[in-house]
Amino acid sequence: MGRDTFEDYIFPVVIFLLAIGAWEAFVRFYGIPPYMLPAPSAIAYTLYEDWGTLSRSLMVTLSTTFEALIAAIVGGVFLALSFRLWRPLERAFFPFAVVMQVTPIIAIAPLLLVYLSSGAAVLVCAFLVAFFPILANTALGLASADHNLVDLFVLYGASPWQQLAMLRLPSALPYFLGGLRIGGGLALIGAIVAEIAAGSAGSGSGLAFRIVESGFRLNIPRMFAALFLISVTGISIFLFFTGVSYLLLHRWHDSARGREP
Amino acid sequence: MGAERGLAGVEPAPSPEAAGPLVALRGVRKAFSSGTVALERLNLDVRDGEFLSLLGPSGCGKSTVLRLIAGLTSKTEGSIQWRGGQPSLGFVFQEPTLAPWSDVFANVWLPLRLRGVSRADAKVRIEEALAQVGLKGFEKAYPRELSGGMKMRVSIARALVMRPALLLLDEPFAALDEITRSRLNDDLLDLKAAFGATVVFVTHSVYESVYLSTRIAVMAARPGRIVADIPVDPSLARNEDFRLGAYYAERCRETSAALQLAMGGAEPLDPRHEVRRG
């Protein structure tokens, strides 16, 4: 076993297990009731016991997150390309995107619930928060092509389409993937926030709704179990896009390559 | 790459003067939108088959001249006249300027690809260009896997794959170490002999310009203009003997003196580009 294997993998796992063990011991030693702080074992048991309900809620939240993310990718990339092709469009529409980004989603959600069905409102909330980082990063990437390479394309008579397809899109790829990693996490946050707003209004069945519902019933282990699933989902989304970034960039981009020691 | 590097083999066609220069810049002025005047009353002829170096201090407008010739920027005043229309051009930048997402093969293929040449049709020419810059077998390597010198070789191969009539090089070896730079100087002369292209080479190195060129145009700054036009004998083979010889030392001294004069604010030469020596 090399030093790197220990430092990179074994040490973090040991620390994680120690933290869980300490939590379990603390709850058991002081006899803390589950409605105040459930032990990790109680949460695991609830996960097992309530898996039917929780998994259905997980699928609802996942479905909202990925639908919103796909809409954000399509919308963000399309708008970034439009900005690139016709600059007045950027001046006209970018302020709207900024307004949507800087306004807290929790403040927009109740309004959306007035105008839309709860399902649609949750989807729009998740879309709104995931959209901006994808748009901003892609627009930045499209504008960041090496100027000398742009000159080279001009010198060799490249058409605007060739310049876009063979230069600007590959240049934008690392930026887009960075936006995707941020947007993926934000889509989940947007979905959860909107579900909480919708849940408090009496509808919805995603994981956030389960948290709200469990809170009302003082079923704290189930709250933790739902929270655990949300965390795992967020981590999985991040790891998935990190993996996609690595696959697409590791041969040529510094962000996906380790530095030689 | 041959050991005896002469520039005589790429002398101009029988009567280039009668036909006129390949490209002639007359009274060219270039002012940027910031108000900076980069070039003023610049006159320059580029003749068939020559290796012309543009030598001058940083900021004197050497690169701007090259970009004007390439059509990458527009002049404010004056004229740029091509004899018989603009020929095919190759351009090598100070940085290798490779697409990092493409392997060596795809980078060299780029100019052909932009003209609609398929990968299969371009294969022979790409392999030939890579062999000529000493990179045979590196087709699948990515730019970040190459050294600085190798990246610059890819950049040169990309410029040569179009078989350009005029090769424009903008301080291509400035960022390289002395050994790599010296080797690439020799390789560039070999490639010029093989391809027979006319070369315009931007540099701020007196020694490099004398070693490579058949003619050196010295530029002064603020605003940029040509202040000396120094011929270098193309019949002498370029090798270590050349570097150690009295002729090389004399041309270096002469060019260095012209450069010193240019940095002191010399007046422009008349349009006939007479040689100012010493």
DSSP symbols for chain A:
--HHHIIIIIHHHHHHHHHHHHHHHHHHHHT--TTT---HHHHHHHHHHTHHHHHHHHHHHHHHHHHHHHHHHHHHHHHHHHHHH-HHHHHHHHHHHHHHHHS-HHHHHHHHHHHS-HHHHHHHHHHHHHHHHHHHHHHHHHHTS-HHHHHHHHHTT--HHHHIIIIIHHHHHHHHHHHHHHHHHHHHHHHHHHHHHHHHTT---SHHHHHHHHHHTT-HHHHHHHHHHHHHHHHHHHHHHHHHHHHHHTTT-GGGSPPP-
What is residue A101's predicted lDDT score, i.e. its pLDDT?
Answer: 82
Task: Answer yes or no: is B214 within a domain.
Answer: yes
Task: Answer yes or no: is B10 within a domain.
Answer: no
What is residue A252's predicted lDDT score, i.e. its pLDDT?
Answer: 86
Q: Which residue has the higher pLDDT, B108 or B58?
A: B108
**Co-location of B170 and B269 in the same domain:** yes
For chain A, the first-to-last Cα distance in angstroms comes to 19
Report pLDDT digits (tens) over B156-171: 999 999 899 999 999 9
Interface test with B, best of A156, A171, A176 (most B CBs within 10 A): A156
Picking from B147, B164, B181, the residue at the C-terminal end of a domain is B164
Nearest-Cα distance to chain B for A255, in Å, is 13
**Co-location of B137 and B245 in the same domain:** no
Task: Answer yes or no: is B94 within a domain.
Answer: no
Picking from B140, B164, B188, the residue at the C-terminal end of a domain is B164
What is residue B17's predicted lDDT score, i.e. its pLDDT?
Answer: 52
Picking from B119, B142, B164, the residue at the C-terminal end of a domain is B164
Across residues B17-39, what is the average pLDDT?
Answer: 88
Give me the CATH number covering residue B192: 3.40.50.300
Is the pLDDT assigned to residue B7 strictly greater than 60? no
Surface of B (214-233) touching A: CB under 8 A: none
Angle at A149 between CA B21 and CA B205, to 5 degrees: 55
Q: Do A149 and B70 touch (CB under 8 A)?
A: no
With a pLDDT cut of 70, the percent of chain B lying above it is 88
What lies within 8 Å, CB to CB, of A18 at 6+ separation is: none
What is residue A253's predicted lDDT score, i.e. its pLDDT?
Answer: 86
Nearest-Cα distance to chain B for A80, in Å, is 21
**Co-location of B185 and B54 in the same domain:** yes
Task: Answer yes or no: is B239 within a domain.
Answer: yes
Q: Which domain holds residue B123?
A: 99-164
What is residue A38's predicted lDDT score, i.e. its pLDDT?
Answer: 96
Q: Do A252 and B101 touch (CB under 8 A)?
A: yes
**Co-location of B196 and B214 in the same domain:** yes
List the single residue in A with minimal CA-CA distance to B116.
Answer: A158
Across residues B68-93, what is the average pLDDT?
Answer: 93
Nearest-Cα distance to chain A for B117, in Å, is 13
B3 near A CB under 8 A: no
**Co-location of B155 and B251 in the same domain:** no
In B87-157 the beta strands, taken as DSSP E runs, fall at: 89-92
Give, as one character, the DSSP assignment of residue B57. -
Measured from the Cβ of residue B213, the count of other Cβ atoms closer than 10 Å reads 27
- Which of the residues in chain A have pLDDT under 70? 1-3, 200-204, 257-261
**Co-location of B105 and B83 in the same domain:** no
What is residue B6's predicted lDDT score, i.e. its pLDDT?
Answer: 53
**Co-location of B126 and B60 in the same domain:** no
List the single residue in B with minimal CA-CA distance to A156.
Answer: B111
Is the pLDDT assigned to residue B1 strictly greater than 80? no
Q: Do A155 and B99 touch (CB under 8 A)?
A: no
What is residue B271's predicted lDDT score, i.e. its pLDDT?
Answer: 44
**Co-location of B136 and B65 in the same domain:** no
Nearest-Cα distance to chain B for A182, in Å, is 23
**Co-location of B141 and B180 in the same domain:** no
Number of structural domains chain B divides into: 2
Q: Chain B contacts of A151, Cβ < 8 Å?
A: 67, 70, 72, 91, 93
Task: Answer yes or no: is B9 within a domain.
Answer: no
Angle at B139 between CA B136 and CA B145, to 5 degrees: 105
Q: What is the CATH number of domain A45-256?
A: 1.10.3720.10
Nearest-Cα distance to chain A for B148, in Å, is 15
**Co-location of B73 and B106 in the same domain:** no
Q: Do A153 and B114 touch (CB under 8 A)?
A: yes
Task: Answer yes or no: is B6 within a domain.
Answer: no
Task: Answer yes or no: is B14 within a domain.
Answer: no
Q: Which long-range contacts (CB under 8 A, 24 or more apart) does B251-258 make?
A: B251/B210, B252/B206, B252/B207, B252/B210, B254/B230, B254/B278, B255/B55, B255/B206, B255/B209, B255/B210, B255/B216, B255/B218, B255/B228, B255/B230, B256/B206, B258/B218, B258/B227, B258/B228, B258/B230
Interface test with A, best of B68, B104, B114 (most A CBs within 10 A): B114
Report pLDDT digits (tens) over B194-249: 888 899 999 989 999 999 999 999 999 888 999 999 999 999 999 999 999 999 99
Q: Chain B contacts of A149, Cβ < 8 Å?
A: 97, 99
Rounded Cα gap, residues B42 and B34, in angstroms: 20
Burial A20-34 (b: 16+ CB within 10 A, else e): eeebeeebeeeeeeb
Q: Chain B contacts of A154, Cβ < 8 Å?
A: 72
**Co-location of B147 and B235 in the same domain:** no
What is residue A260's predicted lDDT score, i.e. its pLDDT?
Answer: 55
What is residue B277's predicted lDDT score, i.e. its pLDDT?
Answer: 41
Surface of B (83-102) touching A: CB under 8 A: 89, 91, 93, 95, 97, 99-102
What is residue B59's predicted lDDT score, i.e. its pLDDT?
Answer: 87
B163 near A CB under 8 A: no
Using alpha carbons, select from B225, B208, B212 the residue that is nearest to residue B261: B225
Amino acid, res. A96: F
